[in-house]
């Protein structure tokens, strides 16, 4: 799974570097060469289908994992609703509103952090660990939004603050209490799931700060056309959110058996 995530990141960057067609049909429908619009539709339907799957499969897992399955379904359902609106805006205007993306992320990323806590709760994870993960996610996203949409002239400063939030999450799951709890756990399935989710947070989420640094005036400005980041974001959202839920699902099913 780790190698697949890295291959996805490399493929996405290659596509962006080559450039994509964003031709729109004159009547607002999806044009044949509109690859970004195509991924808006694919992302919407894939995450909606994943939500249905997670909600139905919730009844098959033991009680201690039902909340985890519910959160997995909520993550993809929230994203599906936002993608439904974003694909409409894209068809009408050929743009992707930053506000919709950040509303999506500020709801779904903290929920993904909560999944770490729910995974380790049977091993004794504390509420303070939950709040550190949650706080890091909120700081990362609020600062990112400020730098991208509210004060773009100061996007480097806000980017540094956003990176601090991400670093809080990475520290917690690689060296903090979360790492200590999973090391002390005697559940092999939980350990495997934790390592996989941890790689999503490190490698899978790396595309978002890369996209931020490509903004005008930022550290990597001009390296890749900013318009092509929608393609990478769309694929990345689907892979990260559905993949996150599938890891939890496999662990829950195996532990129940």
Residue 80 lies in a domain: yes
Report whether pLDDT(163) > 70.
Answer: yes
- pLDDT at position 21, please? 44
Residue 76 lies in a domain: yes
Residue 188 lies in a domain: yes
d(CA 17, CA 221): 13
Residue 24 lies in a domain: no
How far are the Cα atoms of 10, 84, 127, 198 from residue 41, in angstroms, in the given order? 22, 8, 38, 28
Residue 29 lies in a domain: no
Residue 112 lies in a domain: yes
d(CA 13, CA 22): 17
Q: What sign has the CA pseudo-torsion 196, 183, 176, 178?
A: positive
Q: For the chain, what's the residue count?
A: 257
Residue 131 lies in a domain: yes
Total domains, the chain: 1
Tell me the average pLDDT across 142-153.
Answer: 90
CATH number for the domain including 164? 1.20.1070.10
- Name, in order, each residue with C-beta under 8 angstroms of 52's C-beta and a sequence gap of 6 or more: none
Q: How confident is the model over 61-115, as pLDDT tens digits? A: 999 999 999 999 999 999 999 999 998 888 888 888 788 899 999 999 999 999 9
- pLDDT at position 227, please? 66
Q: What sign has the CA pseudo-torsion 41, 47, 53, 59?
A: negative
Q: How confident is the model at residue 23 (pLDDT cuts 50, 70, 90)?
A: low
d(CA 90, CA 193): 36
Residue with tokens 């490399």: 10
* DSSP 8-state secondary structure symbol assigned to residue 257: -
Q: How confident is the model over 27-68, as pLDDT tens digits? A: 567 667 778 888 899 999 999 999 999 999 999 999 999 999
Pull the structure tokens for residue 201. 């947070």
Domain with 161 in it = 2-8+34-256
Residue 14 lies in a domain: no
Neighbours of 76 (CB within 10 A): 27
d(CA 192, CA 194): 5
Q: How confident is the model over 224-242, as pLDDT tens digits? A: 776 677 888 888 899 999 9
Neighbours of 125 (CB within 10 A): 21
d(CA 243, CA 133): 19
Largest CA distance in the chain: 60
Comparing C-alpha atoms, which of 21, 49, 24, 29 is closest to residue 230? 21
């Amino acid at each position: 799974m780790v190698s697949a995530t890295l291959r996805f990141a490399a493929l996405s960057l290659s596509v962006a570097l080559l450039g994509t067609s964003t031709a729109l049909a004159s009547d607002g429908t999806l044009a044949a060469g509109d690859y970004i619009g195509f991924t808006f539709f694919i992302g919407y339907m894939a995450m909606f289908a994943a939500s249905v799957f997670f909600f139905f499969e919730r009844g098959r897992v033991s009680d201690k994992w039902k909340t985890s399955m519910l959160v997995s379904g909520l993550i993809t359902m929230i994203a599906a609703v936002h993608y439904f609106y974003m694909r409409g805006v894209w068809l009408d205007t050929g743009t992707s509103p930053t506000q919709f993306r950040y509303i999506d992320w500020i709801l779904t990323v903290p929920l993904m952090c909560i999944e770490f806590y729910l995974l380790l709760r049977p091993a004794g994870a504390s509420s303070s660990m939950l709040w550190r993960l949650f706080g890091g996610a909120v700081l990362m996203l609020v600062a990112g939004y400020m730098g991208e949409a509210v004060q773009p002239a100061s996007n480097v400063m806000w980017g540094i603050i956003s990176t601090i939030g991400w670093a809080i999450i990475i520290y917690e799951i690689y060296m903090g209490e979360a790492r200590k709890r999973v090391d002390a756990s005697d559940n092999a399935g939980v350990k495997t799931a934790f390592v996989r989710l941890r790689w999503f947070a490190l490698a899978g989420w790396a595309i978002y700060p890369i996209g931020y640094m490509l903004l005008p005036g930022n550290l990597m400005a001009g390296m890749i056309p900013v318009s092509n980041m929608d393609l990478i974001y769309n694929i990345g959202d689907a892979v990260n959110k559905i993949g996150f839920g599938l890891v939890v699902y496999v662990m829950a099913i195996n532990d129940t058996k």
